Amino acid sequence: MSQKTYNILKDAKSRALIDDETYQKWYKQSIKDPEKFWGKHGKRIDWFKPYTKVKNTSFTGKVAIKWFEDGLTNVSYNCIDRHLDKRGDQVAIIWEGDNPYDDKKITYRELYDQVCRLANVMKSNGVKKGDRVTIYMPMIPEAAYAMLACTRIGAIHSIVFGGFSPDALAGRIVDCESTFVITADEGLRGGKKVPLKHNTDLAIEIAQRNDVTVKNVLVVQRTAGKVEWFADRDIWYHEAVAAAKPDCKPAKMKAEDPLFILYTSGSTGKPKGVLHTTGGYLVYASMTHEYVFDYHEGDIYWCTADVGWVTGHSYIVYGPLANGATTLMFEGVPNYPSPSRFWDVVDKHQVNIFYTAPTAIRALMGAGDDHVTKTSRKSLRTLGSVGEPINPEAWEWYYNVVGGKKCPIVDTWWQTETGGILITPLPGATKLKPGSATRPFFGVQPQLVDNDGDVLAGTTEGNLCITDSWPGQMRTVYGDHERFIQTYFSTYKGKYFTGDGCRRDEDGYYWITGRVDDVINVSGHRMGTAEVESALVSHDAVSEAAVVGYPHDVKGQGIYCYITLMEGQEGDDTLRKALVAHVRHEIGPIASPDKIQFSPGLPKTRSGKIMRRILRKIAEDEFSALGDTSTLADPGVVDDLIANRQNKK
């Protein structure tokens, strides 16, 4: 395969913190002697009590992962207090509202004040170290305050993306038995209101029926829209914070004390509560933020993610603030009020580092170059991509049109579970190939294995595993360590299995090919097909459902649903609409089915197992290559499926 390589060492604006030689040297050291390497870099954050032990990790047996275990630190201290002397008046957060006329700058000193007050509000309402606090917020500075206030007192936050439904929110409140919720009256995205408080009220009712009582709801006033009020439970954020004391001592936390839970989808069952801990996570988030984005003192940095996803945790809040950066937080969407919004914001705030998702790039590419070229974008130096494979066309457009051939693109591969970026180019050190996440970050050892677990060497393609721990790795599934072991360390014994397929080329570059399990990636949002199926079968008309992903021009993958109906039901467009509404209600708008095919039966083996391979092929409109169908209980089903397929090209 002929492949274009971009030598950004030569033609980019990168200020290159390190060069290729340094990368090679550090990488070798990090693998040869992780104790020494991380022992040194662990000091990039401040410790109340320095660690003497660096790494104590095992991927076998009970899978115990501990980093810096005897050290004491605090995340909010590292993200705020330690910067006050030097940069108390520097802007910590630039907030850009949904409406372009709405923005705000928060200095590190103001951040300290806000976070301390909120921490005191939480404390005075009985929130203690180890308690779980659910955050269901729009992209407003208070979301960052809430995260940092939790870390200040040692409470564990669990952020639920504002696009999730009351049911999904309830499930997450119940799973971690959260008794304190922080939300807003309404969210605002693309000019549309999201009824966050109303959803929270509904979720709390559902949680109550599942024996979890939420004691308090702290409500930020964002739109001043009408909300129902429960006086014995609800607290206005602005009133409580105004009355609170402006100083709060940071709790001394052990490196392995839980920092946050973040729910993510897997191939089976309910979403898992991914648990990250304090010390290792922060070291890893801050180090990757600095080196991957080539972050320099004074840079304006913008990651367009939502704090409801891990990208927002590590690369809007914790990594940048630990580094004393100015981080931009954007409430809106890429195409409101126009498709030039991103670039208008870049010019307005003179953004140097810009990090977004391929789905946004593809959508903006579709809107035409004019929306980009009419803006300056001169401040840009590094561009980043995350969340799904970036197709070379989108990469080229991002590089040529957005970056004007001057900005290296860091295609960063990682996962909720990994806490931070694992495979990525480093600006100034790595030659780029469009579509490749290139090489492992320091301390990361990727390995490709075949389906039997045999290690594949050289230029090859297989299942991506990581053979040893890095500090940002998740430590357990909240409340279910057995599930942690089963999900990640049992497919290939003694290795962390990522769930991704991957190719390694002749230069040792890694090319992520996508999930090899029943997880799909829709607009960079990760979803278990089993979750969508279970939402569908909870509708009265549905007897059985099978969900697969199929290639989608903008979203990366679309959601294709095969459905068999209950006796007497008719599969028509009215029912299709009802099912879409039902899934949105059960999970949220991000899970909206794109295609629904009604079918008298699903292709099953004689033992009753649905043959998803066949369903995937038909959804892709590639039915000439269905492979062996001889094991099907009723091969006739396949003809009907093909005849009525919903994705004819």
- Measured from the CB of residue 274, what is the shortest distance to ligand WT7 in angstroms? 8
Residue closer to ligand WT7, measured from CB, 437 or 448: 437
Per the DSSP assignment, residues forming a β-bridge with 522 are 525, 556
The reply, when asked if residue 47 is annotated as ligand binding, is no
Amino acid identity of residue 572, one-letter, is: D
Grouping H, G, I as helix, E, B as strand and the rest as coil, residue 646 is coil
The burial class, CB within 10 Å (0-12 / 13-18 / 19+), for 18 is middle
What is the C-alpha separation between 193 and 188, in angstroms, rounded? 5
- Measured from the CB of residue 397, what is the shortest distance to ligand WT7 in angstroms? 16
Grouping H, G, I as helix, E, B as strand and the rest as coil, residue 124 is helix
The reply, when asked if residue 416 is annotated as ligand binding, is yes
The reply, when asked if residue 460 is annotated as ligand binding, is no
* Residues near ligand WT7 (CB under 6 A): 264, 309-311, 386-389, 411-416, 437, 498-500, 512, 514-515, 521, 526
What is the C-alpha separation between 107 and 407, in angstroms, rounded? 28
Residue closer to ligand WT7, measured from CB, 402 or 637: 402
Residue closer to ligand WT7, measured from CB, 515 or 539: 515
Residue closer to ligand WT7, measured from CB, 300 or 386: 386
The reply, when asked if residue 500 is annotated as ligand binding, is yes
Grouping H, G, I as helix, E, B as strand and the rest as coil, residue 649 is coil
The reply, when asked if residue 415 is annotated as ligand binding, is yes
Q: Before 337, cis peptide (omega within 30)?
A: yes
C-beta separation of 392 from 434 below 8 A:
yes
- Measured from the CB of residue 311, what is the shortest distance to ligand WT7 in angstroms? 5
- Measured from the CB of residue 383, what is the shortest distance to ligand WT7 in angstroms? 13
The reply, when asked if residue 584 is annotated as ligand binding, is yes
What is the C-alpha separation between 41 and 317, in angstroms, rounded? 20
Per the DSSP assignment, residues forming a β-bridge with 443 are none
Residue closer to ligand WT7, measured from CB, 90 or 415: 415
- Measured from the CB of residue 464, what is the shortest distance to ligand WT7 in angstroms? 8
What is the C-alpha separation between 581 and 589, in angstroms, rounded? 9
What is the C-alpha separation between 362 and 531, in angstroms, rounded? 27
The reply, when asked if residue 473 is annotated as ligand binding, is no
Residue closer to ligand WT7, measured from CB, 277 or 498: 498
Per the DSSP assignment, residues forming a β-bridge with 56 are 66
Q: Taking phi first (over 0 means left), then psi (-120 to 50 degrees means alpha), and beta for anything else, what does residue 588 get? A: left
Q: What angle in degrees, to the nearest 10, is found between the helix axes of 141-153 and 108-124?
A: 60
The reply, when asked if residue 468 is annotated as ligand binding, is no
The reply, when asked if residue 574 is annotated as ligand binding, is no
Residue closer to ligand WT7, measured from CB, 500 or 586: 500
Nearest to 335 by CA among 356, 360, 316: 360
- Measured from the CB of residue 168, what is the shortest distance to ligand WT7 in angstroms? 15
* HSE-up of residue 338 (Cα within 13 Å, Cβ side): 11
What is the C-alpha separation between 592 and 523, in angstroms, rounded? 12
- Measured from the CB of residue 459, what is the shortest distance to ligand WT7 in angstroms? 19
What is the C-alpha separation between 625 and 59, in angstroms, rounded? 39
- Measured from the CB of residue 467, what is the shortest distance to ligand WT7 in angstroms? 17
Residue closer to ligand WT7, measured from CB, 471 or 499: 499
The reply, when asked if residue 389 is annotated as ligand binding, is yes
C-beta separation of 459 from 505 below 8 A:
yes
Question: Phi and psi of 615, rounded to 5°?
Answer: -65, -40
The reply, when asked if residue 326 is annotated as ligand binding, is no
The reply, when asked if residue 514 is annotated as ligand binding, is no
What is the C-alpha separation between 461 and 389, in angstroms, rounded? 15
- The H-or-E segment that residue 642 falls in is helix 636-643
What is the C-alpha separation between 391 and 453, in angstroms, rounded? 28
The reply, when asked if residue 333 is annotated as ligand binding, is no
Residue closer to ligand WT7, measured from CB, 389 or 571: 389
- Measured from the CB of residue 225, what is the shortest distance to ligand WT7 in angstroms? 30
Amino acid identity of residue 187, one-letter, is: G
The reply, when asked if residue 537 is annotated as ligand binding, is yes
For residue 301, give both structure tokens: 């940095």
SS (H, E, C) 347-397: HHHCCCEEEECHHHHHHHHHCCCHHHHCCCCCCCCEEEEECCCCCHHHHHH
Site of tokens 């604006």: 13
Residue closer to ligand WT7, measured from CB, 261 or 386: 386
- Measured from the CB of residue 181, what is the shortest distance to ligand WT7 in angstroms? 23
What is the C-alpha separation between 67 and 278, in angstroms, rounded? 10
Residue closer to ligand WT7, measured from CB, 79 or 527: 527
Nearest to 440 by CA among 508, 518, 525: 508
- Measured from the CB of residue 217, what is the shortest distance to ligand WT7 in angstroms? 27
Q: Using alpha carbons, list the distances in angstroms from residue 133 to 159, 173, 176, 285.
A: 8, 9, 9, 22
The reply, when asked if residue 335 is annotated as ligand binding, is yes
- Measured from the CB of residue 498, what is the shortest distance to ligand WT7 in angstroms? 6
- Measured from the CB of residue 390, what is the shortest distance to ligand WT7 in angstroms? 7
Residue closer to ligand WT7, measured from CB, 160 or 251: 160
The reply, when asked if residue 542 is annotated as ligand binding, is yes
Residue closer to ligand WT7, measured from CB, 221 or 415: 415
The reply, when asked if residue 381 is annotated as ligand binding, is no
The burial class, CB within 10 Å (0-12 / 13-18 / 19+), for 192 is exposed
Residue closer to ligand WT7, measured from CB, 254 or 515: 515
- The H-or-E segment that residue 86 falls in is helix 84-87
- Measured from the CB of residue 130, what is the shortest distance to ligand WT7 in angstroms? 25
Q: Tell me how many degrees the CA angle 487-519-500 measures, rounded to the nearest 5.
A: 70
The reply, when asked if residue 644 is annotated as ligand binding, is no
Binding-site sequence positions: 189-192, 311, 335, 387-389, 411-416, 500, 515, 523, 526, 537, 539, 542, 584
Binding-site sequence positions for Mg(2+): 537, 539, 542
Binding-site sequence positions for CoA: 189-192, 311, 335, 523, 584
Binding-site sequence positions for ATP: 387-389, 411-416, 500, 515, 526
